[in-house]
Structure 1
Amino acid sequence: MSTAVSTALPAALPSPVQGVWHLGPVPLRAYALCILAGIVAGLWITSKRWSAKGGRADFPLDVAVWAVPLGVVGARLYHVLTSPDAYFGPGGQPLRALYVWEGGLGIWGAVAGGALGAWIACRRAGYRLAPFADAVAPGLLVAQALGRWGNWFNNELYGRATDLPWALTVHDWDESTGRALTGPDGAAVVLGTFHPTFLYESLWCLLSAAVIVLADRRLRLRRGQAFALYVVLYTAGRSVFEALRVDEAELIAGLRVNQWVSALVLLVALVALVRSRRRHGGGPDLPLERVPSLPSPAPTPPAGDTQSQTGAPNVNESAQPSRREHDHPDS
């Protein structure tokens, strides 16, 4: 029985031979469509979680206006800075550093740029950043999971050669045309079979998103803890997947730059999460607003409406609590 099943399984997972289609003069790039699908899914999940926290359901769209462009710019800058030889090294083409549609977006640049955009939007709306970061954490992981399939369409970012049943067939790829190169017989040229690191990371992101949602419900995570857990889970998986990759990258002491960055960010996030749990534990979170609103002042009584005339104390003098009783520092 086992022999029959093994024979029925494909020798390797397939890869596309084309990643760009043309609608008239307009190119439709699978990489961009995967990124767009991830953004839409992430916004939908974030909107649901933000509404559950008591925020405006449409506020994540306001954040996206700032976070998405800055995230793309940050992602591309991170990629170019950590892989400069392809653009500025011998034989490099500096202008291709602007060709975002060919792939090459660094997640840490995206997170940094997106966080800056989210901070700007939250500050303008009067919201705290940390609760919004908690709301966006699972959606961000789902967006990353969908975005990774753009690498599959581009036949890129695969791991070491392997003959495992789930090995990925990779073609010799022409980035300028978005198609696999073909041989004399017209068939796509196959480089070999490799670890599908894009698939590993996509599945890990989905699993991590589920863990965060479950932890949020069971452990009642407080401000900033869900996002810290996102960073811990993602970097733990990314450290493993990065070690499998064979694409060119800058090395420091024999390790890829992304491995060092993931390890450092993992350590910082883990310390922050442990300290936050020890200090705050779980329970009801703080208000979303940066500055709590003060109660509306009592209406001013008509002239002459004093205690001597009505027999009741003047509401502005004795019943109104002092402003100081309502003020408390933003924590």
Structure 2
Amino acid sequence: MWHYPELDPIALDLGFFQIHWYGLMYLIAFVLGWGYTVWRARKMADWNSEMVGDLLFYIAMGVILGGRIGYILFYDLAYYLQHPLAVFQVWQGGMSFHGGLLGVTLAMWLYARKAGFSIFQVADLVAPSVPIGLLTGRIGNFINGELWGKVTDSPLGMAVYDPALQQVVHKYPTQLLEALLEGVVLFVLLAWYARKPRPAGSVAGLFLLGYGAFRFFVEFYRMPDVQLGYLAWGWLTMGQVLSMPMVAMGLGLMLWAYKRADSPKSA
């Protein structure tokens, strides 16, 4: 068995101001995502680094606003209605990927209209960079000591203090499992797939399909949010409910893209 190292969620404490690892993970994600997207855009006739910078500004706003609003609406609306100022305490966690995805989709649509692209061209450019943010975000969850999996006697279980049980128990480190599947594996899959021209929309479709499938799988090991619990049958979680449409939409988008056989302007 391995032990949780009890990491300090504060990276730098200046007394009057604190920098949290969770926030730094988002900053790292945007920097790495920008670099990778610029590298891909250089292979495309219709894109340049300045355009990528503008696009990522839109996406940053979509991630932050969509992720926060999505978490509030999907997971804990009653709490935030009672504690409205907690809405702004993003360094404590509480970001929904599915909400962030909706925010990013809106941001891409707005940018596409402004720049004269189709939303599929924009989504195909952005999609391979998203797992970078998923990887750093889950590392941030791990540092915060949140989103643990179920108690287990498996060798994969990590020894961690549970304040509710007031004892050390072994839990699946599902933050690391998600970092591996949704971050590393999905990034490699998308980078490999997007290395050649593909039908417009198919790269984004593969992202939706891959993330939805990985997230649905991990939810079997991850504990549901306390305020929600299981939604049905003693195993169905909100994360799975939100992931199933992603799998269907991703598969449908890939089939539609190949049916149209519309060659994308991407590498």
The TM-score normalised by the length of structure 2 is: 0.87
Q: Quick one: distance in 2 between partners of 1:217 and 1:18? A: 39
1:271 to 2:242 alignment: no
AA matched with 2:199: R
**In 2, Cα distance between the equivalents of 1:271 and 1:43?**
28
For 2:29, the equivalent position in structure 1 comes to 38
What secondary structure does 2:159 align onto?
A: strand
How far has the Cα of 1:16 moved from its partner?
A: 2.8
Hey, what's the Cα distance between the residues in 1 that align with 2:237 and 2:35? 34
**Mapped contact 1:232–1:266 kept (Cα < 8 A):** yes
Deviation by residue 1:47-77 (Cα, 9 ceiling, x = unmatched): 1112212211221210122221232111111
8 Å contact kept, 1:75–1:113: yes
Given candidates 75, 89, 108, the residue that maps to 1:83 is 75
Q: Say which of 38, 41, 47 aligns to 2:38.
A: 47
Deviations, residues 76-124 of structure 1 (Å, cap 9, x unaligned): 11111122266158xx634323311100100111111122222222322
2 CA distance for matches of 1:44 and 1:249? 38
Q: Aligned residue for 1:227?
A: 204
Matches within 5 A, 1:8-23: 11-20=1-10, 21-23=12-14
Distance (Å, rounded) in 2 between the aligned partners of 1:103 and 1:152? 11
2:96 counterpart of 1:119: no
Q: Residues of 2 paired with 1:195 and 1:93: CA distance?
A: 31
Paired position in structure 2 for 1:193: 170
* In structure 2, distance between residues paired with 1:15 and 1:77: 31
Match of 1:292 in 2: none
> Partner of 2:240 in structure 1?
259
Larger CA Rg, structure 1 vs 2: 1
Q: In the alignment, residue 212 of structure 2 is paired with which amino acid?
A: T
Map 1:163-202 → 2, pairs under 5 A: 163-172=153-162, 191-202=168-179
- CA distance in structure 2 between the partners assigned to 1:206 and 1:17 by the alignment: 22
Per the TM alignment, residue 126 of structure 1 is displaced from its structure 2 partner at its CA by: 2.3
Show CA shifts across 1:117-174 (max 9, x none): 222223222233212211111111112111111101110001111233332233457x
Structure 2 vs 1, CA of residues 126 and 88 (structure 1 numbering), >3 Å: closer, same or farther? closer
1:111-150 to structure 2, matched below 5 A, reads 111-150=101-140
Query: Which residue does 1:209 correspond to in 2?
Result: 187
How far, CA to CA, are the matches of 2:54 and 2:167 in structure 1?
45
Counterpart of 1:263, as a letter, is M
Structure 2 gap ranges (5+)? none
- Residue aligned with 1:15, SS: coil
Superimposed CA distance per residue, residues 180-223 of structure 1 (whole angstroms, 9 cap, x where no aligned partner): xxxxxxxxx764221111111111121111112212336x3121
**SS of 2:195 mapped into structure 1:** helix
CA deviations 1:7-47 (Å, max 9, x no partner) are: xxxx2142334211312411010111112111111111111
Percent of paired sites with the same residue:
26
Q: Are 2:216 and 1:239 aligned? A: yes
CA contact (8 A) 1:37 1:147 kept: no
The Cα shift of 1:268 comes to 1.8
Q: 3-state DSSP class of the match of 2:194?
A: helix
**Mapped partners of 1:127, 1:16: distance in 2:** 47
TM-superposed CA distance for 1:275, in Å, is 2.7
Which is further off, 241-250 or 130-139? 241-250
Q: Which runs of 5+ in 1 are unaligned?
A: 1-10, 174-188, 288-331
How many pairs does the alignment contain?
259
Q: Which has the higher contact order (CA 8 A, sep 6+)?
A: 2
Are 1:280 and 2:261 an aligned pair?
Answer: yes
Larger helix percent: 2
Partner SS, residue 148 of structure 1: helix
Distance 2:167 2:61 in 1: 36
CA 16–138 in structure 1, closer or farther in 2 if over 3 Å, else same: farther
Q: How far off its partner does 1:236 sit?
A: 0.3
Secondary structure (helix, strand or coil) at the match of 1:238 reads helix
